[in-house]
Structure 1
Amino acid sequence: MSGFGVPIIDAIIAFPIILIALFIPFLFLQYRRYGAVTFWHTVMTFSFVFYFTTAFFLVILPLPTEATLEHLQAIGAPTRNLDPLQVVRTFFQDNPYFHGGGLKAGLLDPSFTQAAFNVLLTVPFGMYLHFYFKRGFFTTLILTFMLTLFYETTQYTGLYHIYWRPYRLFDVDDLILNTTGGLIGWIFAPLLGILLPSRDRMDERARSLGHRVTLVRRLLSFGLDFVIATAISFVLTQILPNETSADILSYIVIWGVVPLLLGATLGQMVVRIRYDVAKSQRWRIIVRNALMVGFTIYFFPFWLQLIGSTGTVSAETLNRTYTFILLFAAPAVILVIDWLITIFRPQHKLLYEKISGAGSEAIVKTTTMADAPILKEQTTPQPEVDQQPTSRSERHH
């Protein structure tokens, strides 16, 4: 496969890896901004990532071989064109349509297709900037120019000196054509509103779901807390005599001291949730987190380890291992079912939350100035007497 096909296929192959790398940060950002992750925000964000990946691959691929670079050097191939609008002169001089050829031949000639490609390359970029990112015309102009300058610099430096000479031409006409494409995309972006909900509707939908403390939201906060606790434990292992002591002390800090002082763990604050207990009742948080850490970090992994050890333990201890597995099976299954219920009922209180009396609640963001018109509509009208003139001059008039 040649032409545009190879870079596009490569982008399709690379995209799942990029998706995996960006998905967790994307979730944190959405929960931090809106309190929820919605379908359209996810589609728009990662379709933009796929577009950008494809566009970048179209610019840099295929990568050259050493023989290709030596050939370009031997024939004295130019590395830059600083003559603006040379593409226009080339179009009128070389395009067969102006020399007796048919329209089809003119449209398929490189003098047209290369210019058209450079325009079309950034049309989606302008559409995303206008429709989803809500950027104005001049901001789109600047950002598109900066994007195409990045492309041209990448080409001129031989992929930032990975290669010893440029294998693509730095072309000032590409700067003009790419920037034009971004502006065309900005102009036609409102057409997307025929098929897609507006950005305001996407945001409104996300905020309307922000009060839910979903399983994903809980897992993200727990995961971040666990990473921080692991980092603290690593530091403490340089001081304390054994790893177990370092782990326990780090857990006490993350799930004990911090929420006792702030009413939420660091991970919870990132995804905008907190414990639903009064300040005077924060001792319940300690009970809750002690049960949570005991269940999720110690008990459940220990039970799974027992199951995994059945193929390696000696015959003398196998029966005892099976006994422990069956003994711990009921609480382990209850723990899993308790977590799974939150998938369908986000407001479901987990078992250790019920025992401790300390649940979780969402931190709803305060109203911004952009929401002022909505507040105005919901405000109760003032009595008529409050709207009478109060100053002497107003009464006179």
Structure 2
Amino acid sequence: MFQSYLSPISYAFMSFPVAALLFTLPFLVVQYRRYGYINKIRALVLYLLLLYLLNAFYLIMLPMPSSRHNAMPTGNMIQHIPLQFIQDIVRNSNVSADEPLSYLRILRQPDFLQAVFNVFLTVPFGMFLGYYFRTRWVVCILLSFTLSLLFEITQITGIYGFFDHPYRIFDVDDLLTNTLGGITGYRIALWISALLPRIEQLDTRVDLSAKRVTYTRRGIAAGLDAPIWIMLFLLLHSFQAPGAYWITTGVYFVVLPFCTGGRTFGKWVVRIRISSEDGHNRLWGLILRYLLLYGIIIGVNVYLLTPSWLSSISGPWMGIMYGGVMIMNFIFFIHLVIRIFKRNPVLVYEQLSRTCNRITWPDQQHADTGKTCEIP
């Protein structure tokens, strides 16, 4: 019986990297937005929760029918009698009151092992609720019951119609044992919480003013800004507006940050802003910063992909242009790698424009935090 659990667990661990990859972006956005930084303990707990949910899902759903067009099951698919599993255990174990040793047979009885499995399945869930989310015991019971109900509905509906017919029964005893497991895990979390870092105190000694703005954070902001900028560019380009690239770049990355204290939409989401080394938001710094970045470093690459612009350049000059851009890209890539390994977030266009990214925080104490611009 225990061998049947190993295969679902192995599937859970194999699919975890993919699930973690999909989970990482929203996780980072929420953490930056809510806490202003990434805490390693909080990240570890939440990724363990993700791994647990994958294991629970596969343990409940596998094995599946070999075809979507599975046969109609025979017999009643709903077991609605509470604590029926106790009667099944007693009936199938051949326990005799005159033979005390016969009670040991219960420990090997499949109905008993199934009930124990259902309890242990949600113990980790209750521990997460008690330790990390700090829910009340009533909420833990409701959420554990809801999770179990979700499992049962998924099974009885054939994964919501994916299979033609149900392939597992809806058992009310599973609801009871899963809920018992959840509240058991909740109590365990309360007992051992003194041995673990307290979640509510993870951020008490964190000084956001000492935190650097990482390239990951900047990359997320750029990724959120890119679709907006591209839509604005395509809109102007569809109207054949001259200089659509420069207009959209100037409006979105210079005018907008100047009017909003150094923030674009992406920077607002992850709580960072552009400022000069003295902490102020100066128009000339924004102009020079984005002229270097989008006018030269990115701009020349964009124009090399523009057919109308390429058609005006003769053959020999075309090769020279491509060669020069490739050399520039290579130099900038090496520069970026060096800064990453040196943990220095200030790039060349920021040095020349005397600007940098800083963390912003809404409360008065951290009204404008983040390391001051350390521009060489």
Residue type at the aligned position of 1:254: Y
The aligned residue for residue 271 of structure 2 is 272
CA drift at 1:209: 7.4
Deviates more, 1:80-89 or 1:279-288: 279-288
The aligned residue for residue 254 of structure 2 is 256
Residue type at the aligned position of 2:275: D
The aligned residue for residue 156 of structure 2 is 156
**SS of the residue 1:78 aligns to:** coil
**Conserved 8 A contact 1:36-1:209:** no
**Conserved 8 A contact 1:121-1:181:** yes
- Coordinate RMSD, CA, aligned: 3.4
**Conserved 8 A contact 1:35-1:209:** no
Q: How many Å separate the matches in 2 of 1:142 and 1:67?
A: 33
Q: Which has the higher helix share?
A: 1
Residue type at the aligned position of 1:281: R
Identity %: 31
Residue type at the aligned position of 1:58: L
**Superposed, which structure 2 residues align to 1:32-181 within 5 Å?**
32-66=33-67, 69-70=70-71, 72=73, 76-96=74-94, 105-181=105-181
For the structure 1 residues 108 and 153, does the alpha-carbon distance in structure 2 shift closer, same or farther, using more than 3 Å as the test? same
**SS of the residue 1:225 aligns to:** helix
* Deviations, residues 260-282 of structure 1 (Å, cap 9, x unaligned): 21121111111111122476723
For the structure 1 residues 234 and 3, does the alpha-carbon distance in structure 2 shift closer, same or farther, using more than 3 Å as the test? farther
The aligned residue for residue 290 of structure 2 is 289
Q: How many Å separate the matches in 1 of 2:49 and 2:337?
A: 32
**SS of the residue 2:4 aligns to:** coil
The aligned residue for residue 374 of structure 2 is none
**SS of the residue 1:65 aligns to:** coil
**Conserved 8 A contact 2:9-2:58:** yes
CA drift at 1:44: 1.0
Deviates more, 1:177-186 or 1:327-336: 327-336
CA drift at 1:327: 5.2
Deviates more, 1:101-110 or 1:132-141: 101-110
Residue type at the aligned position of 2:9: I
For the structure 1 residues 112 and 128, does the alpha-carbon distance in structure 2 shift closer, same or farther, using more than 3 Å as the test? same
Q: How many Å separate the matches in 1 of 2:96 and 2:248?
A: 76
Q: How many Å separate the matches in 2 of 1:195 and 1:98?
A: 44
For the structure 1 residues 205 and 247, does the alpha-carbon distance in structure 2 shift closer, same or farther, using more than 3 Å as the test? farther
Whether 1:356 aligns to 2:353 is: yes
**Conserved 8 A contact 1:35-1:210:** no
**Superposed, which structure 2 residues align to 1:213-362 within 5 Å?**
213-237=213-237, 239-241=238-240, 245-263=243-261, 264-277=263-276, 281-299=282-300, 321=319, 331-332=328-329, 334-343=331-340, 348-362=345-359
**Conserved 8 A contact 1:260-1:286:** no
* Deviations, residues 176-203 of structure 1 (Å, cap 9, x unaligned): 1111110000000135546642213433
CA drift at 1:22: 1.4
For the structure 1 residues 209 and 69, does the alpha-carbon distance in structure 2 shift closer, same or farther, using more than 3 Å as the test? farther
User: Unpaired segments of 5 or more residues in structure 2?
Assistant: 306-314, 366-376
* Deviations, residues 140-180 of structure 1 (Å, cap 9, x unaligned): 11111111111111111111112222111111111111111
**Conserved 8 A contact 1:145-1:175:** yes
Q: How many Å separate the matches in 2 of 1:210 and 1:220?
A: 21
Q: How many Å separate the matches in 2 of 1:209 and 1:193?
A: 30
**Conserved 8 A contact 2:68-2:163:** no
For the structure 1 residues 68 and 58, does the alpha-carbon distance in structure 2 shift closer, same or farther, using more than 3 Å as the test? farther
For the structure 1 residues 108 and 302, does the alpha-carbon distance in structure 2 shift closer, same or farther, using more than 3 Å as the test? farther
**SS of the residue 1:203 aligns to:** coil
